[in-house]
């Protein structure tokens, strides 16, 4: 093996070890618990025949890359989920780097690939196992391009199929990479990786007409005015999440999350960067910039049509920023400044990424503590009533003053956890500041739902590990005593004009403002 190749192997292994360090012990989140509940007591062999399963019907490839593995996961043992999460990210890192090796050297391609996967705005696609399907969709499609570019068309076609059918957000990636082939006047190669996505578009469009229970993300009636409003919101929130206040807050508070092992790791990695990337090239490829810009705007259009996902740097919804992160990672990795300035920029990002990882690890420990308390709380264990138990506390992790990683904020999470912990499960629901007791009903402003309340409700306070009885006349005062969930910095400000503007662009956010 030549010295150059040997150094590339060593550098790849270095990144692989670092990726594993970042992911290890970041736990399971949100929908992970729901999937665990669905696979409880089932073997992988039995799950290989999917039947009528939501994950298989909507994104068939994701069913096999993600859903079936939940049968191996345990609430009190994170070994298997650690291994699979790290493996998927290392594979994605390798596949994405192969794409960039078409346009730059190996070590620069490693850097771009790493910065894209771990760009701070979309940590949910890294540490939330279920959402790693987005990372894999990018990895499969970029590798399909690499294969098609090198005229390995049949293999490229199959990777494009996997990339398309693993994610309902795969279309902007497909169109953008087809555009890149068009720029190079390689239409045939482009069609090889684009046609599988056309098949997925037809599949996704027709399935709601054939099956009930399908989650319809495309509105039945599309209004141009509404799409324009949503597109404007996408642009505004994109700049906020990527280079605006949200990103700076995320970087600042990431540094407050750092633990000593990560500080030591950050110093070592910065030193390695300074030594290895001294003579790195910093010339942009204009075609790639055009392609990644197109990808970003196509994602704006996709989310504008659904009207559901603004660009956010916080919460699990930050997965939508992964599309624009490819452009950002490419621009930052090749930024045309001196090596010392590049090292400074890289070190800030590395310590931010390490701080975010430490935040997820700390929140995983907190989740484990809460689950242990629930499992061993005698009142919960022995509860035999038919009334709903409302769960308060531990709704989100606290990232400085902002609420970040969801836990007990959505009812399906405590419901899934209880179904795993207790043989007969429990009738449970989340309780937080978006609720209001009125005229004998408990109203949920986010989902516009209501539940009948007689004389009282039972509340499990997860912060203090106690089950309490709250009389109906005291429900609202109890809700008001709960901490607010500030999921965006705008909620920390009492600026009426901004809130009015947001509600005009996205009225459904009224419950949060």
Percentage of the chain exceeding pLDDT 90: 67
Question: Contact, 398 vs 463, CB < 8 A?
Answer: no
- To the nearest 10°, report the CA torsion of 380, 383, 387, 391: 0
CB atoms within 10 A of CB 200: 24
Q: What mean pLDDT, rounded, does the chain reach? A: 90
| Cα 129 from Cα 398, distance rounded (Å) | 20
| Closest-CA residue to 477 (of 436, 444, 428) | 436
For position 218, what pLDDT does the model report?
A: 62
pLDDT at 511 over 60: no
Confidence of residue 20 (pLDDT cuts 50, 70, 90): very high
| Nearest residue to 156 (alpha-carbon basis) of 134, 135, 178 | 178
Q: Name the least confident of 84-88, 308-312, 331-335, 429-433.
A: 308-312
- State the alpha helices, DSSP H only, in 395-495: 412-421, 475-481
Which is nearest to 333 in space by CA: 119, 111, 121? Answer: 111
Q: What is the DSSP string of 108-173?
A: HHHHHHHHHHT-GGGTHHHHSGGGHHHHHHHHHHHHHHHHHHTT-HHHHHHHHHHHHHT-TT-HHH
Per-residue pLDDT at 140: 98
Place of tokens 């279920």: 130
Q: Mean pLDDT throughout 451-460?
A: 89
| Confidence (pLDDT) at 451 | 87
DSSP 391: E
pLDDT of res. 102: 96
Better pLDDT: 218 or 269: 269
Which pLDDT belongs to residue 506? 61
| Pairwise pLDDT comparison (20 vs 4), residue with the higher score | 20
> So where are the chain's domains?
3-211+220-361, 377-489
Question: Of residues 351 and 443, which shows the higher confidence score?
Answer: 351
* 510 pLDDT above the threshold of 70: no
Confidence tier at 502 by pLDDT (50, 70, 90):
low
DSSP 239-281: HHHHTSHHHHHHHHHHHHH--HHHHHHHHHHHHHHHHHTTT--
Query: Which whole number is the average pLDDT over 136-162?
Result: 97
**Average pLDDT for 25-52:** 88
Predicted local confidence at residue 376, as pLDDT: 93
Residue position matching structure tokens 């293999």: 155
pLDDT tier, 447 (very low <50, low <70, confident <90, very high otherwise): confident
The sign of the dihedral angle between the CA atoms of 276, 279, 282, 283 is negative
Return the closest-CA partner of residue 408 out of 25, 29, 27: 29
Mean pLDDT within 153-159: 97
How do residues 101-140 score in pLDDT, each as one tens digit? Answer: 999 999 999 999 999 999 999 999 999 999 999 999 999 9
């Amino acid at each position: 093996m030549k010295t150059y190749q040997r150094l590339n192997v060593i550098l790849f292994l270095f990144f692989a070890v670092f990726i594993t360090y970042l992911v290890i012990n970041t736990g399971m989140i949100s929908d992970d618990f729901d999937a665990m509940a669905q696979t409880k007591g089932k073997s992988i062999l039995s799950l290989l025949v999917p039947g009528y399963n939501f994950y298989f019907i909507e994104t068939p490839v994701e069913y096999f890359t993600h859903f079936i593995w939940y049968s191996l996961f345990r609430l009190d043992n994170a070994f298997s989920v650690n291994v699979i999460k790290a493996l998927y990210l290392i594979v994605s890192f390798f596949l994405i780097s192969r794409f960039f090796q078409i346009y730059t050297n190996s070590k620069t391609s490693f850097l771009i690939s790493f910065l894209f996967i771990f760009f701070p705005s979309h940590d949910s696609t890294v540490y939330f196992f279920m959402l790693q399907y987005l990372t894999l969709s990018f990895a499969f499609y970029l590798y399909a391009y690499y294969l098609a570019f090198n005229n390995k068309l049949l293999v490229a076609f199959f990777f494009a199929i996997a990339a398309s059918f693993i994610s309902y957000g795969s279309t902007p990636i497909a169109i953008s990479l087809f555009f890149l082939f068009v720029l190079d006047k390689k239409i045939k190669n482009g069609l090889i990786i684009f046609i599988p996505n056309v098949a997925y578009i037809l599949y996704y469009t027709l399935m709601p007409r054939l099956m009930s229970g399908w989650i319809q993300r495309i509105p039945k009636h599309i209004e141009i005015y509404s799409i324009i409003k949503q597109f404007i919101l996408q642009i505004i929130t994109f700049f906020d999440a990527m280079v605006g206040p949200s990103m700076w807050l995320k970087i600042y508070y990431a540094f407050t999350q750092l633990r000593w092992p990560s500080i030591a790791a950050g110093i070592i990695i910065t030193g390695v960067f300074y030594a290895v990337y001294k003579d790195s090239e910093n010339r942009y490829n204009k075609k790639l910039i055009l392609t990644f810009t197109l990808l970003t705007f196509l994602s704006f259009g996709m989310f504008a049509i659904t009207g559901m996902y603004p660009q956010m740097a916080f919460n699990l919804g930050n997965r939508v920023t992964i599309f624009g992160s490819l452009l950002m990672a490419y621009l930052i990795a090749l930024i045309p400044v001196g090596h010392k300035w590049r090292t400074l920029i890289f070190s800030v990002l590395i310590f931010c990424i390490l701080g975010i990882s430490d935040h997820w690890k700390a929140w995983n420990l907190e989740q484990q503590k809460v689950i242990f308390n629930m499992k061993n709380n005698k009142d919960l264990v022995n509860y035999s009533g038919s009334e709903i138990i409302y769960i308060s506390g531990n709704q989100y992790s606290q990232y400085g003053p902002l609420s970040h990683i969801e836990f007990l904020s959505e009812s399906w999470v405590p419901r899934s956890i209880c179904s795993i912990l207790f043989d007969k499960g429990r009738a449970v629901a989340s309780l937080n500041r978006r609720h209001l007791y009125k005229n004998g009903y408990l109203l949920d402003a986010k989902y516009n739902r209501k539940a009948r309340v007689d004389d009282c409700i039972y509340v499990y306070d997860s912060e203090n590990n106690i089950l309490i009885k709250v009389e109906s006349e005291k429900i609202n005062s109890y809700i008001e005593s709960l901490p607010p969930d500030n999921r965006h910095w705008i909620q920390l400000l009492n600026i009426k004009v901004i809130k009015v503007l947001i509600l005009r662009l996205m009225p459904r956010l009224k419950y949060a403002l």
